[in-house]
Chains A and B, each alone.
Chain A
């Protein structure tokens, strides 16, 4: 694995937090079928209570708050990774049916299902013989 794959990328462009924490860019997989768009984001330390998904017009914002990365009653001896919040913004090209968005978080992975709106689903147009 490359070094950049091991380290989380800091989100420099993210709006600053009130809390003094760093913000990282979660790594995502996006795939689609003809009905929906699926998004998977690696956000270790985040659960369903601390994740926030916002869709405004066609701008999708995912934010995750990591409450506390410290181990209780322990002192850090060695560190390779940093702990902080997550934020990433996407501009969607398709119209999304916002009432049917399904989001789940499992083992620190956010899974979003974004169903495409009826009107943008590709429709086959049959050509009638003249």
Chain B
């Protein structure tokens, strides 16, 4: 009964992504401990992708033309304004929960950003900015003589 079942072992590979996911969730949970929930809009998630940082933010209903992303040194600034619906004279609001107005947020990264190589995409209301590290700033391998 307690002998390892080979069939079960084969299943292990299938459960790996699930376990990784769980681990990620746990990390996320604890990394937020001790600090308050975000006070600034938009809320961001930051990812590490082969030395570049990827910032994602949920910004539904924004005109990409009016979205402004600027980079200086190690700081990236996202600013813009939500599309405001203008009602006709004979229309009345029954419920208004969606945020209106402009926003601005600075995010400081732990490295210098290569401003020339920054890419931003806005898809389905989600903004994703890829911020590569400056070449000179990348960790260098030092040869021992």
A pairs with B = yes
Q: Using known A-B contacts A6-B41, A77-B48, A79-B45, determine if residue A44 contacts B94 with beta carbons closer than 8 Å.
A: no
A28 to B45, CA, bound (A): 23
A78 & B61 in contact (Cβ 8 Å cutoff): no
A69 to B88, CA, bound (A): 36
| Residue among B24, B42, B47, B64 with max Cβ neighbours from chain A (10 Å) | B47
Please count how many residues in chain B sit with their CB below 8 Å of the partner chain's CB atoms.
Answer: 47
Give the A-B pair count, Cβ closer than 8 A. Answer: 138
Report which of B27, B57, B62, B98 forms a contact with A40, defined as CB distance below 8 A: B98
How many of chain A's residues touch chain B, expressed as a range?
35 or more
A74 & B49 in contact (Cβ 8 Å cutoff): yes
Q: Using known A-B contacts A45-B126, A107-B60, determine if residue A29 contacts B48 with beta carbons closer than 8 Å.
A: no
B127 (CB) vs chain A CBs: closest residue: A44
A107 & B125 in contact (Cβ 8 Å cutoff): yes
Whether, in the assembled complex, A42 has its beta carbon less than 8 Å from a beta carbon of chain B, the answer is yes
Give per-residue flags for B46-75: 1 if the beta carbon is below 8 A from chain A beta carbons, else 0.
Answer: 111110011011111110100000000000
Cross-chain pairs A/B with CB under 8 angstroms, 12 sampled: A3-B37, A30-B95, A42-B98, A45-B126, A74-B48, A76-B45, A77-B46, A77-B48, A78-B44, A81-B58, A107-B124, A109-B61
A residues with a Cβ closer than 8 A to B are 1, 3, 5-8, 27-34, 37-38, 40, 42-47, 69, 71, 73-81, 106-109
